[in-house]
Chains A and B, each alone.
Chain A
Amino acid sequence: MNRIVRAMLGRLAGMALVLVIVATVVFVIVRVTPGDPAAVMLGSDATPQDIADLRSRMGLDAPLIVQYGQFMLGLLRGDLGQSIFLGQSVGQALLARAEPTFFLTLFSILIACAIALPVGVLSAVKRGTVFDQIVVTLTMIASSVPSFWLGLMLIQVFAVSMGLFPASGYGGPDSGFFERLQHLVLPAVALGVVNSALITRFTRAAMLDVLGDDYVRTARAKGATERRVVLKHALRNALVPIITVIGLSVAMLVAGAVVTETVFGLPGIGNLVVSAVLRRDYPVIQGTLLVVAAIYVLINFVVDMLYILVDPRVRL
């Protein structure tokens, strides 16, 4: 247990450092805007007075280092700033839109893993067979399809032509969970299928890698059945890279959600950030970027902890 606690503390320290860099990068991104962000935000018919007001409201008239300090201090208090257009704080705006994004991500990762793990393992075991070649070809094609385009095609077929699922939206404000769930089916499939391609390819490669290892030969020399060799000895060792790629694809799903939510009209975080970009609502862009990056860092931390459970060699 001691080993795990020490490892956790070490990783937490590293995580904090990365978060500080993340926050700094976010700060820099918004400040590199050519010209005056206040002027850009308000558009061409703003009066100099409006611009000056907004500048002071956003704290843009202070020296950069002071702005940076205030920004970081605000973050420490959990203050992500005020949206320019929504009339609410960035934190509130994000919370209000978290649910669809959370479930979309969750369902698509479940779909992706449910397809990818068995298919990837089987494809590695049956390497070179017709089944393997079909899997390789299909994953190759699937990873070349933009998820938003697949989403549009799904809408056309399953929503418009067959009327099986709603084409867009997330139900009304008082719709039940089941109704909202129906709205998530098509977007989750669109995202999940595209991401399953990546995980399948990775699983297959990781399995092929370990199936050539010496200890797999040892297991065979022991007289273990092929099933045991694959599922116990090989898969357990392949899990480390597979966990990595699953963690990575959660992050990619968040990115995919940005586009997919737009396609399906889901009122999630992706939708929020796209409209913020179109309206130049910098505090919202800044806050979303930060929160998503922080979630990614957190997922990485969880993945690191899983390593320790899976692989006894991980040191620290």
Chain B
Amino acid sequence: MNEPILSVQNLTTAFRTSEGWREVVRDISFDIHAGETLAVVGESGSGKSVTALSAMRLLPKDKARSTGRILLEGRDLLTLPEHQMRAVRGGRIGMIFQEPMTSLNPVFTIGNQLAEALVLHRDMSWKQAEAEALRLMERVRIPSAGTRLHEYPHKFSGGMRQRVMIAMALACKPRLLIADEPTTALDVTIQAEILSLIAELQREENMAVLFITHDMGVVAEVADRTVVMYRGDMIETGDTPQLFAAPGQPYTRALLASIPRLGAMAGSVTPRRFPQVDAATGVATEGAQLPPPPSATQPVVKVSNLSIRFDLPQGRVHAVEDVSFDLHPGETLALVGESGCGKSTTGRAIMRLNTPSAGEILVGGQNVAKARPAELRALRRSAQMIFQDPFASLNPRISVGAAILEPILTHGLLPKPAARERVSQLLEQVGLSPDMATRFPHEFSGGQRQRISIARALALDPQFIVADEAVSALDVSVKAQVSNLLMDLQAQRGLAYLFISHDMSVVERISHRVAVMYFGEIVEIGPRAAIFGNAQHPYTRRLIAAVPVPDPAQRGTRPAPPAVEPRSPIRPLDYVPPKRRYREITPGHFVMDEAAA
């Protein structure tokens, strides 16, 4: 094989802390050749991003230092003088980042920022550079590039901004593209578009790509070879298909085993627990099937024709439009869709955290919007909520025990000594030790905090829980454990869940029924097996098809998705949404009528 584009040899990077230098990346070595994609994969804190930033020398000089060698086409970047390194950045190496929303400068036009990259490295005038910028925007398939060139970043959606970032990174035909979690902040259908765009451009330019990610599904889709990192160490490296087929290390095995795989539930009627993975050996034991929910009686929650609209200076946002569904005891209804589709707004309306514009929400037969203070107190007991961000869900100034105790005492459920006893029981039920009650939230990990939030929600012994992206922010192994906890609690207590999520593979495991939302409307609702096995609406199909498959063997079997600029959710004030009709495909499986849409 010829010389690699990038050769990282024994790279060690240390950060300055108050206790001295601490190594966050230890003795990493890998090569990337032209036209090849190498993925560096690991959970949060594994050092994968630091590796990429070290190669670009973008870490602050006074706070970080790297040793070893980073050879770009034979030249050691770590010893290069700063002015030569500037020619490398953006010239020989292009880089895109995780946060497209904040990575572009808000006060300059897209055209200006693209042209800047060209002026810096290619001997061009601003005029030539702007013409070339237009060509680049067309190249990354941004619709109506000619006018959008003169717009500011805030007018672009996340996916479009990431396209701009790619155009900027590729402006000077770099030999290496570093992509640091480029799709993590994006919706799954947008992710698919961006991944296929990167692959296509890589083919045309014969670039090397260093792809940093935490998502094994994405790795399987893009990487020729893979490096697995754990807490700063390189655990394992190899060709991607081989690594997936026969992982050599227990950690890799465990990581692969805990990925939720779409399609794993085919033929299963009720939810099934995630496999339990032995961290020491990486051996997985398939999770138990859950019993079916008690046969339908009265629904716990009945949402009828719910609409929620917000007025902005530019027009009206139809956040939720004519949404209806029932939720029965012991059942999990998943509300799925991409950001801005109105799923969280719906969940928050049920908790009376916002006010519906039209429609009715009944919880246990009680109208939520019209509840008087005493009735509202009763409602608060039966309906609870778990939030997405485990680090913001708990009051940092209140001990965990006090946080769980507070609602029990406020509602006068138990006298104080008995209530304390109850707190201990709840902590045990969510898999924590009762003596943790005196500790404060900052002493816990993300997964533990989410368990505490669950215990707090259970303190009032509710009938149902709105779980708003409750496991989305967790690392993959923790995600499986917390999902299992939710399923166990459902089986024990007959809880009903409204499980709001964008993560289709978790939804497939956990839910009995699924409702797919798109631009404020439910486009399809039905039993889980019907939605995943027999999707009718084009959007549902697109959503399922976009989920990365953690199996390198299946790569390239799916067609490249088109670039769709999402339509604006803002409508004129006098807009009257059309009345939708639904077809029933099989019993309980409804699809929005296409003719009307």
Contact = CB atoms under 8 A, between A and B. Distances in A.
A and B interact: yes
Interface of A: 128, 213-215, 217-225, 233, 236-237, 310-313, 315-316
Contact of B104 (A218, A223, A224): A218
B99 A221 contact: no
A215 B120 contact: no
B194 to A, nearest CB: 17
Contacts of B56: 221
A227 to B, nearest CB: 11
Interface in B127-169: 152, 154, 165, 168-169
Contact of B105 (A233, A310, A315, A316): A233
A214 B152 CA distance: 16
Interface string B100-123: 001111111000000011001100
Q: Residue among B94, B99, B116, B165 with the most chain A CB within 10 A?
A: B116
A237 B105 contact: yes
B559 interface: no
B578 interface: no
B571 interface: no
A232 B120 CA distance: 14
Interface string B66-103: 00000000000000000000111111001101010011
Given A217-B97, A220-B58, A224-B120, A313 B106 contact: yes
A225 B97 contact: no
Contact of B120 (A223, A233, A310): A223
Given A128-B62, A223-B91, A223-B121, A218 B106 contact: no
B166 to A, nearest CB: 12
A223 B171 CA distance: 12
Contacts of B91: 223
B417 interface: no
A308 to B, nearest CB: 12
A312 B102 contact: no
B58 A221 contact: yes
Contact of B89 (A213, A221, A312): A221
B313 interface: yes
B107 A214 contact: no
A217 B168 CA distance: 13
A214 B95 CA distance: 12
Given A223-B88, A224-B90, 13 more contacts: A214-B102, A218-B103, A220-B58, A221-B56, A221-B95, A222-B117, A222-B168, A223-B117, A233-B105, A236-B107, A237-B106, A312-B107, A315-B313
A312 B107 CA distance: 6
Nearest to B99: A214
B102 A223 contact: no
Interface of B: 56, 58, 62, 86-91, 94-95, 97, 99, 102-108, 116-117, 120-121, 152, 154, 165, 168-169, 313
Counting chain B CB atoms within 10 Å of each CB, which of A128, A223, A312, A315 scores highest?
A223
B49 to A, nearest CB: 11
B140 to A, nearest CB: 16
22 contacts: A213-B102, A214-B99, A214-B103, A215-B103, A215-B104, A217-B97, A218-B103, A218-B165, A221-B94, A222-B89, A222-B90, A222-B168, A223-B87, A223-B117, A224-B90, A224-B116, A233-B108, A237-B105, A237-B106, A310-B107, A313-B152, A316-B313
Given A315-B313, A316-B313, A220 B89 contact: yes
Contacts of A128: 62
Contacts of B165: 218
B90 to A, nearest CB: 4
A237 B102 CA distance: 12
Nearest to A10: B313
Contacts of B107: 236-237, 310-312
Contacts of B154: 312-313
A224 B58 CA distance: 12
A161 B62 CA distance: 48
A132 to B, nearest CB: 12
Contact of B103 (A217, A236, A311, A313): A217
Q: What are the nearest 5 A-B pairs in CB distance?
A: A223-B90, A222-B90, A223-B89, A214-B102, A215-B105
A237 B169 CA distance: 22
A57 to B, nearest CB: 49
A236 B113 CA distance: 14
Contacts of A221: 56, 58, 89-90, 94-95, 97, 169
A273 B88 CA distance: 64
Nearest to B121: A223
Given A224-B116, A236-B107, A312-B107, A218 B89 contact: no
Given A312-B152, A313-B154, A225 B103 contact: no
Contacts of A233: 105, 108
Contacts of B88: 223
Contacts of A312: 106-107, 152, 154
Which among B62, B88, B117 has the greatest number of chain A C-beta atoms within 10 A? B117
Contacts of B102: 213-215
A258 B120 CA distance: 52
B176 to A, nearest CB: 12
Contacts of A225: 86
A214 to B, nearest CB: 4
B180 to A, nearest CB: 10
Contacts of A218: 97, 103-105, 165, 168
Contacts of A223: 86-91, 117, 120-121
A96 to B, nearest CB: 44
A172 B80 CA distance: 68
A219 B168 contact: no
A212 to B, nearest CB: 10
A62 B53 CA distance: 75
A315 B95 CA distance: 31
A213 B99 CA distance: 11
Nearest to B101: A214
A218 B87 CA distance: 14
B342 to A, nearest CB: 22
Contacts of A310: 107
A127 to B, nearest CB: 9
B105 A219 contact: yes
Nearest to A311: B107
A310 B105 CA distance: 12
A46 to B, nearest CB: 58
Nearest to A316: B313
A225 B102 CA distance: 20
A222 B106 CA distance: 16
B6 to A, nearest CB: 15
Contacts of A214: 97, 99, 102-103
A2 B349 CA distance: 37
A217 B56 CA distance: 11
A287 B514 CA distance: 68
Nearest to A213: B102
Nearest to A224: B120
A313 B56 CA distance: 31
Contacts of A222: 89-90, 116-117, 120, 168
